[in-house]
Amino acid sequence: MLLGLALPLLGPYYLLRGRRRKKSWRSVRERFGGLPQNIHQSGPGAIWIHAVSVGEVLAVAPLLPLLRQRFPERRILISTTTDTGQELAASKLQTDGVFYNPLDFAFACRRALRAIKPSLVLIAETEFWPRFLREARLAGARVAIVNGRISDRSFGRYYFWRRTMRGVLAHVDRFLMQSEEDARRVQQIGALPERVVVAGNLKYDLAPPASSRLVAWLEGELARQPRRPVIVAGSVTAGEEALVLMAFGIIQGQWPQALLILAPRKPERFDAAASLIEESHRKFVRRSQLSLSEALDESASVLLLDSVGELAGLYQLADAVFVGGSLVPAGGHNILEPAAFGKPPVFGPSMENFREMAGAFLKAGAGIQVRTPEDLGMVWIELIQDGDRCEQLGRLARELVERNRGATARSLEHIVAMLVSPGENS
């Protein structure tokens, strides 16, 4: 009902937003179910994967080559909700098509489903759109939640509506959840216990990215210039940029030639982050204006990573790191990317969206949690000065990642069973 009331505003909203961000009419059309011809299927059999944004796109990445190997005759199509997710999926994943997920209107969902004719819909993490789930089942598709999780904030809302949610979740055949706690929560909001499986977290299976042109160039510049230590602050959210710059000021008090690589989580924060760096009276370079055929400005103390998809590889060059979304109440972000390179992740108190992962790292002594920017600066100094401790923490972090691999293979078993034996819900 609320979506219906909002319908007259949604079209103009997406159109204006697309024009402001220099996007085409395509995104608006696709959100109302009008998919391009290259997405259309002549017959059933496609696998439709929905991944909201960058984090979800990266999470499902290990599944794609295995699905391709197991079902070479099936098309694999990916939908996203955000522009950054769209860009990353199109540039980094080997798919047969990328498009924007339709809004949760019956007509939009039906148009998209008629075009794709999926045999299987895989939804990453937590996207319980009632109309879409119902229409997918009516269209004959099996539906699974992969890498499922229920955050603290989401659980409270879902639990309040648990009687309604029971009917919504009845359209899902399998819930492949990250942890026992996530499995318990999804059952509490209405999922049938026999459909819930603890498969693990797909993000542990992500391979460290291969060296990119940016990494190779910066590695050469760091060898040429006395630019140490290097601090990488990734996935920094609104309100955190100033806190990270404050912590970096503590580092600069010890090492004036230090370099901070600051990576905002969302593109809409790129300009705001640039303004904050200017206000801190530091010289900086924007990645978007960087020529990899030229030298890095030796007077610049900050590299602003205003790009998508380049952060993970840069962690390997770091002397110390910080994973954002955690010094402010944003729920945290993925700490596995630095850990895979043997860099001990440092993060703030707000890790509600990654509670199991953060807890595992803290219990293993493989990560460090801080509460204030002053704490963050001091922890960076300790890690840089005590190389043996930093190396030990990094080794524990990498070992923890290795021990928790296998979620992709477990998830694939259930996905294959759903496609090979597409009967009624078990």
Output the six-digit token pair for 378.
Answer: 């001091």
Domain 213-403 has CATH 3.40.640.10: no
Is the alpha carbon torsion for 28, 97, 138, 413 positive or negative? negative
Summarised one tens digit per residue, pLDDT across range 213-254 is: 999 999 999 999 888 999 999 999 999 999 999 999 999 999
H runs (alpha helix) in 121-176 = 130-138, 152-160, 162-169
| C-beta pairs of 378-382 under 8 Å, 24+ apart in sequence | 378/250, 379/320, 379/346, 380/229, 380/231, 380/247, 380/250, 380/251, 380/320, 380/322, 380/346, 381/250, 381/251, 381/254
> Could you tell me the pLDDT band of residue 280, with boundaries at 50, 70 and 90?
very high
Q: pLDDT tier at 20 (50, 70, 90 boundaries)?
A: low
Looking at residue 92, what is its pLDDT?
A: 86
Residue 182's φ and ψ, nearest 5 degrees, are -65, -40
How many angstroms separate the CA atoms of 311 and 305, rounded? Answer: 8
pLDDT digits (tens, 9 = 90+) for 320-330: 999 999 999 99
CB 315 within 8 A of CB 336: no
Does the structure show a pLDDT above 60 at 423? no
Determine the straight-line distance between the first and last CA of the chain, rounded to whole angstroms.
32
On the question of a common fold for 19-200+406-420 and 213-403, the answer reads: yes
For the segment 365-415, what is each residue's pLDDT rounded down to a tens digit? Answer: 999 999 999 999 999 999 999 999 999 999 999 999 999 999 999 999 999
Task: Tell me if 366 sits within 8 A of 396, measured CB to CB.
Answer: yes
Pairing state between β 259-264 and 284-286: unpaired
Strand order in the sheet with 118-124: 98-100, 76-80, 46-50, 118-124, 142-148, 174-177, 196-198
Strand order, beta sheet including 259-264 = 284-286, 302-304, 259-264, 230-236, 320-323, 346-347, 368-369
- Of the ranges 13-27, 48-62, 175-189, 340-354, which one carries the lowest mean pLDDT score? 13-27
Q: Can you tell me the distance from the alpha carbon of 288 to that of 206, in angstroms, rounded to the nearest whole number?
A: 26
Domain at 19-200+406-420: CATH code: 3.40.50.11720
Q: What is the pTM assigned to this prediction?
A: 0.89
pLDDT at 21 over 80: no
Answer yes or no: is pLDDT of 258 > 80.
Answer: yes
Residue 192 has pLDDT above 90, yes or no: yes
Q: Residue 421: is its pLDDT beyond 80?
A: no
- Average of pLDDT values for 35-45? 92
Domain ranges of the chain: 19-200+406-420, 213-403
**Active-site amino acid positions:** 56
- Report DSSP state, residue 265: S
Summarize the confidence of residues 24-34 as an average pLDDT.
Answer: 84
The first and second tokens of residue 8, run together, are: 């007259």
Polymer length in residues for the chain: 426
